[in-house]
Amino acid sequence: MKKAGIIMIIGSLLLLGLFKFPLWNIMLGAPQYPDPLGMNIYIQGIQGVQEFDIQNINGLNHYIGMRTIPKAEDMWEFEVFPLVIGIMVGLGVIIGLLGFFGKVSYKWFLGWFILMSVLGIMGMYDFNQWLIDYGTNLDPRAIMKLENLDGTPMSYKPPLLGYQKMLNFDVDSWPATGAYMIFVGMMLTVVAFFVGKYEHNKIKKSNI
Amino acid sequence: MKNTINILITIIMTAGLVGCNNSEDKRGNGGQGGLATNAAEKVYVAPGDHDEFYAFFSGGYSGNLTVYGLPSGRMFKEIPVFSQFATSGYGYSEETKPMLNTSFGFVPWDDSHHPDISQTNGKLDGRWIFINGNNTPRIARIDLETFETEEIIEIPNSAGNHSSSFITENTEYVVAGTRFSVPVPQRDMSIKDYKGNFKGAISFLSVDQDTGRMDIKFQLMMPGFNYDLSHPGRDKSHGWFFFTTYNTEEANTLLEVNASQNDKDFIAAVNWKLIEEYVNNGGGTKMPAEYAHNVYDHDTHAATSTMKKEVLTVDPTKVPGAVYFLPTPKSPHGVDVDPTGEYIIGNGKLSADLTVHSFTKMIDAIEKKNFDGEAYGIPILKFDDVLAGTVKQGGLGPLHTEFDGKGNAYTTFFISSEVVKWKLGTWEVLDRQPVFYSVGHGMIPGGNSREPFGKYFVAMNKITKDRYLPTGPELEHSAQLFDITGDKMELLLDFPTHGEPHYAAGIPADIIKNNSKKFYKLAENKHEHATITDADARVERKGNEVHVYMTMIRSHFNPDNIEGIKVGDKVYFHVTNHEQDFDVPHGFAMIGANNSELLIMPGQTKTLLWEPKKVGVWPFYCTDFCSALHQEMQGYIRVSPASSNIELSWGLGED
């Protein structure tokens, strides 16, 4: 199971990219913003694409009563996410090493993948909940109180994934480099599972 | 397919138009409607697209510098230089008042003439643009990252700083030659004693290559002629500078007659490298002088004015080989040097011919010491020894010549109102085009460098008359854009220009557009009275001086309610724009202020002085439509009687 172990280790190490690259990117373009404003969402916090983008997004948001973009210390997620990712990388590497030396079954690789998928889905759910809260829980003294055609208050929740027109803004929300690295890393752990299974079966056959 | 249809339509329409357009000849469109040529297409810059060149036009009696795009002829900005500019508060704000300080005190206006863009190795580098003030002799340097005036230095012993502000090919020096000779030092004497007693100062200002700061390195004390225009030698003639003179008769009255008597005046060839060496070795005489040096700092957002007390003068006769006179017919106006540095063109403004001197021949004649006497101790070279050739009957009243870098020269003729293209070396006239009307300078981007960008020629006309819809007796001047890529010059466009552009300087947009600053960083604001955080917004009283430390951001001022101001106070509003985004300036206007508004860029601090004269509650507001809530961006100041004892108080958003 040497090959499978190495793939497992590489796959889980790819998650480290999240400490360097953004997980998600939201861009806000408008007629007055030919150079769109943008946010990069990292597991440790939110940063502007350009130096002053966060300040300028906050400046716009105050008109419609949205809160300011949270700083890293304002959300527990930005402490927990790096911890979870760190633990999962460690766990993946250990499983990979143990697999490499034949101490654990290849099934552990799939186990890691399932755990990571569950955590990922929970993370996305949490992120979406925050977007809903952020986009709908508005200051009652907002300068502009806009309503939908049916009279309900307009929500400014950015899309979790994809494009949406919000007032004068074109909002694009897409996974960024970090997300692609997790995706590739997680796929590699699945590959490790199948390679492990294949190697396991070969050993079994040669033993017969 | 689309193109084919367009061409077909053009051909059909042309066929219909050419015949009925002959009456338009005198307007300069050559008997062709716009559709007959592709002139319209050549100057059309589609909405949102950018021009290929920046063109900086001097404002003449506006005292400023205007920025245009070529080929569209669209104006982008007026940069205040020598004149107070209420639009931005330049010269009105406390920070910029020192920029207009001189030895005569505050001079809020000048007559700006000849812009020149900085160079490295004879090529445009787009760091700075220099421009001269003619009336109260000054030179200004404008930074091409911020497009703001950064420095103004006054020129002592000078009057009518006209043969300026041309630069040498590595921006080592910018020159200032006096058009009016004057007594040096100034003294009470009879005007009739001009001849032999007045001096013509030619100043060489060194330029610091990192900061751009100017300093008068030396003043060459020339005979009392009128030094009209100048251009640097380049490439092979780098190290020399050429100045035209008129009134070598040294007349002091009715110059139009008395200064036009000599058949030839001079072009003064100045070997500045030799004088630089002389000065560096301790040569020259220091003399007392008084001149202001004003510097604007983009970190403190404020200018300082220093009065200098001394200047180094050089007597040209003390430096053998430093200056020679080249006899040049008919009161030459412009002197222009071709891109190779070989040809020195004297534009004899009362003549039909152009005189071209050869640099090689000049050096030869100097070596052979073939002199035709001397004037005030300065050797005069023999006309025939230095003559390279004459452009015969080019037109009437040549003023200025530009070059396309392809061996052709373009001379403007004021009296015959035309631009004439001729060939360097053969002196053959290749083409002539009428201009409307009476052209002064012409400009080819990079025309005053080793590498001109010979695509367009802009004629700066002195007379406008009927070119545009009439606007009463006073008209803007008119520029005309020619395509010079073909054998014949093709008129493409007329566009009005602000003030009286004398000269202009053009540069490919690519060289500078990416360096253009978008806004100032608040964190780098070192203004003495900046308010960097809202927590520091406050009002302080020192006797009858009140300092308001105010911030502005879409869409409010902080503070916006102030009480405790009294009639007779001097209220200084130090207003800091907290925006950090491109193109979000805010304005600040105070009712009854006796100066101007402030237009404050993001990250910048400006100060307005207001002296309230009437008791009451007076509003102030933002003048730049900054946001959807711009109209709400306002505040009130309560002004109480001088005897009142109401305490200072201020606030924002309190109920």
pLDDT digits (tens, 9 = 90+) for A87-127: 999 999 999 999 999 899 999 999 999 999 999 999 999 98
Confidence label for B14 from pLDDT (cuts 50, 70 and 90):
very low
- Give the residue numbers spanning the domain of A122: 2-201
pLDDT of residue B36: 62
Contact at CB, A59 and B553, closer than 8 angstroms: yes
Interface of A with B in 20-49 (CB under 8 A): 35
pLDDT grade for B28, boundaries at 50, 70 and 90:
low
Residue of chain B with shortest Cα separation from A64: B628
CB-nearest to B580 from A35, A52, A144 is A52
Q: Is B49 on the interface with A (CB under 8 A)?
A: no
Question: Do B508 and B572 lie in a common domain?
Answer: no
Q: Which of B515, B532, B567 is the C-terminal boundary of a domain? A: B515
- Partners of B143 in beta bridges: B128, B148
Which run of H or of E encompasses B18? helix B2-18
**Is residue B44 domain-resident?**
no
Measured distance CA(B60)–CA(B504) in Å, rounded: 11
CA dist., res. B301 & res. B304, Å (int): 10
Contact B313, B284 (CB under 8 A): yes
Cβ atoms B85, B64 nearer than 8 A: yes
User: Cβ separation of A55 and B629 shorter than 8 Å?
Assistant: no
Same-domain check for residues B502 and B610: no
Tokens encoding A95: 């499983």
Q: Residues B66, B12: one domain?
A: no
Identify whether B577 is part of a domain.
yes
Percent helix, strand, coil in chain A (nearest 5)?
55, 15, 30
pLDDT > 70 fraction of chain B, expressed in percent and rounded: 95
**In b/e form, how buried is each residue of B311-347, taking b as 16+ CB within 10 angstroms?**
bbbbebeebeebbbbbbbbbbbbbbbbbbbbbbbbbb
Instruction: Say whether the ipTM exceeds 0.95.
Output: no
Instruction: Tell me the one-letter amino acid at B605.
Output: T
Do residues B418 and B411 lie in contact, with contact meaning Cβ atoms separated by under 8 Å? no
CA distance B254 to B235: 40
Query: Is the Cα dihedral B160, B244, B323, B171 positive or negative?
Result: positive
Percent with pLDDT over 90 in chain B: 90
Instruction: Indicate the residue of B581, B628, B629 with minimum beta-carbon distance to A56.
Output: B581
What tens digit of pLDDT does each residue of B581-590 get? 999 999 999 9
pLDDT for B29: 58
Same domain membership, residue B566 and residue B505: no
Residues B94 and B28 in one domain: no
CA atoms within 13 A on the CB side of A26: 21
- Sheet containing strand A33-42, edge to edge, reads A45-48, A33-42, A24-30, A169-175, A162-166
Spatial separation of the C-alpha atoms in residues A62 and A138, rounded to whole Å: 10
The structure tokens 């007559």 sit at B111
- Give the pLDDT of residue B30: 53
- In angstroms, the separation between the Cα of residue A79 and the nearest Cα of chain B is 29
Chain A contact probe: residue of B518, B522, B579, B581 with most A CBs at under 10 A:
B581
Sign, CA torsion A193/A196/A201/A202: positive
Of all helices (H) and strands (E), which one includes residue A171?
A: strand A169-175
Query: Residue B376 in contact with residue B384, Cβ under 8 Å?
Result: no
**What pLDDT band is residue B25 in, cutting at 50, 70 and 90?**
low
What is the rounded distance in angstroms from the CA atom of residue B246 to the CA atom of residue B259? 7
Residue B23's pLDDT is what? 41
| Whether B220 contacts B323, CB under 8 Å | yes
Query: Across chain A, what does the average pLDDT equal?
Result: 92
Which residues in A lie closer than 8 A to residue B581 (C-beta atoms)? 52, 56, 59
Q: Please enumerate in sequence order all residues whose Cβ is within 8 A of that of B12, keeping only pairs 6 or more positions apart, or say none.
A: none
Lowest mean pLDDT among B89-103, B259-273, B557-571: B259-273
Looking at residue B334, the DSSP 8-state letter turns out to be: E
- Tokens 């300068």 found at: A143
Q: Evaluate the omega torsion of the peptide bond into residue B71 and state whether it is cis, within 30 degrees of 0.
A: yes
pLDDT tens-place string over residues B506-562: 999 999 999 999 999 999 999 999 999 999 999 999 999 999 999 999 999 999 999
Residues 141-170 of A with CB under 8 A from B: 143-144
> From the candidates A35, A54, A56, which should be mutated to test the interface with B, based on the most B CB atoms within 10 A?
A56
CA distance B457 to A188: 64
Task: Check B629 against A63: CB less than 8 A apart.
Answer: yes
User: CB under 8 Å to A111, separation ≥6 — which residues?
Assistant: none
Asked if the Cβ–Cβ distance from B628 to A63 is below 8 Å, we say yes
For residue B30, give its domain range: 2-37
Residue B569 maps to a domain: yes
- The Cα of A66 is separated from the nearest Cα of chain B by a number of Å equal to 15
Token pair, residue B356, equals 């071209």
In a domain, residue A91? The reply is yes
Same domain as B366, residue B502: yes
How confident is residue A189, by pLDDT bands cut at 50, 70 and 90?
A: very high
* Number of structural domains chain A divides into: 1
> Letter for the amino acid at A204?
K
Structure confidence at residue B262 (pLDDT): 87
Return the pLDDT at B356: 97
- Asked if B2 is an interface residue toward chain A (Cβ–Cβ < 8 A), one would say no
Q: Is residue B356 part of a domain?
A: yes
Rounded Cα distance between A63 and B553, Å, is 13
Mean pLDDT of chain B: 94
pLDDT at position B13, please?
45
**What are the tens digits of pLDDT across the range B612-623?**
999 999 999 999
For residues B74 and B46, the answer to whether their CB atoms sit within 8 Å is no
Residue B45 counted as domain residue:
no
Residue B127 lies inside a defined structural domain of this protein: yes
Q: Give yes or no: residues B355 and B492 share one domain.
A: yes
DSSP strand pairing (B570-577 vs B545-553)? parallel
Instruction: Name residue B299's amino acid.
Output: D
B185 plus B155 within the same structural domain: yes
Give chain B's domain count: 3
Torsion angles phi and psi, residue B72, rounded to 5? -75, -25
The answer to the question of residue A120 being in a domain is yes
Instruction: Give the full edge-to-edge strand order of the sheet including B75-79.
Output: B75-79, B65-70, B53-58, B504-508
Q: Is residue A208 situated within a structural domain?
A: no
B554 vs A59: CB contact, 8 Å cut-off? yes
d(CA B259, CA B262): 7
The Cα angle at residue B61 between residues B60 and B62, in degrees rounded to 5? 90
> Does some domain include residue A168?
yes
Peptide bond into A173 cis (omega under 30): no
Can you give the pLDDT at residue B34? 52
CB atoms within 10 A of CB A31: 8
* DSSP assignments along B529-567, one per residue: T---SGGG-EEEEETTEEEEEEEEETTEEES-EEEEEET
* Residue B491 is assigned to a structural domain of this protein: yes
Within a domain: residue A184? yes
Mean pLDDT of the region B601-614: 98
In a domain, A71, yes or no: yes
Q: Write down which residue in B515, B547, B562 finishes a domain.
A: B515
B556 vs A: CB within 8 A: no
Q: Which of B203, B190, B199, B205 is nearest to B226 (CA)?
A: B199
Kindly state whether B5 is in contact with chain A, defined as any CB-CB distance less than 8 angstroms. Answer: no
CB contacts of B582 in chain A (<8 Å) are: 35
- How confident is the model over A120-165, as pLDDT tens digits? 999 999 989 998 999 999 998 888 888 888 988 888 888 889 999 9
Which site among B553, B578, B579, B580 would you substitute to test the A interface, given the most A Cβ atoms closer than 10 Å to its Cβ? Answer: B580
Packing angle of the helix pair A2-13, A177-207 (nearest 10 deg) = 170
The Cβ of residue A25 has, within 10 Å, a number of other Cβ atoms equal to 18
pLDDT of residue B261: 87
- Are B254 and B184 members of one domain? yes
CB contact under 8 A, A143 and B629: yes
Residues B401 and B476 both lie in one domain:
yes
Determine the Cα angle at B346 with ends B341 and B351, to 5°.
155
pLDDT at B12: 45
Residue B282 and residue B356 share a domain: yes
CB B329 within 8 A of CB B263: yes
B619 CA: distance to closest CA in chain A (Å) = 22
Report the DSSP pairing between strands B214-223 and B302-314.
Answer: parallel
Q: How far is A168 from chain B (nearest CA, A)?
A: 13
Residues B490 and B421 in one domain: yes
In this predicted model, what pLDDT tens digit does every residue of B72-127 receive, in sequence order? 999 999 999 999 999 999 999 999 999 999 999 999 999 999 999 999 999 999 99
CA distance A64 to chain B (A): 12
**CATH code, B564:** 2.60.40.420
Tell me what pLDDT residue B214 has. Answer: 98
Q: What gap in Å lies between CA B174 and CA B164, rounded to an integer? A: 8
- Using the predicted structure, report yes or no on whether residue B131 has a pLDDT greater than 70: yes
Cα atoms in the 13 Å half-sphere on the side-chain side of B4: 1
Q: How confident is the model at residue B24 (pLDDT cuts 50, 70, 90)?
A: very low
Mode of pairing for the β-strands spanning B586-590 and B598-600:
antiparallel
Tell whether B580 lies on the interface with A, counting CB pairs under 8 A.
yes
Map B488-522 to HEC letters. CCEEEEEEEECCCCCCEEEEEHHHHHHHCCCCCCH
pLDDT > 90? residue B294 = yes
Q: Which amino acid is at B430?
A: L
Residue A207 banded pLDDT, cuts 50, 70, 90: confident
- What's the confidence (pLDDT) of residue A206? 79
CA B200 to CA B315: how far, in whole Å?
11
Check if the beta carbon of residue B460 is closer than 8 Å to that of residue B479: yes
Last residue of a domain, one of B515, B542, B571: B515
Identity of residue B339: P
pTM: 0.91
d(CA B389, CA B355): 7
In a domain, A206, yes or no: no
**pLDDT tens-place string over residues B193-234:** 999 999 999 999 999 999 999 999 999 999 999 999 999 999
Q: Is residue B201 part of a domain?
A: yes
Whether A207 is covered by a domain: the verdict is: no
Contact A52 B581 (CB under 8 A): yes
Please report which confidence band the pLDDT of residue A57 belongs to, taking 50, 70 and 90 as the band edges.
Answer: very high
Nearest alpha-carbon partner for B482 in B451, B500, B506, B513? B506
Three-state SS at A104 = coil
State whether A35 and B580 contact (CB < 8 Å).
Answer: no
B91: how many CB neighbours lie within 10 A of its CB?
Answer: 26
Backbone angles phi, psi at A149, to 5 degrees: -60, -30
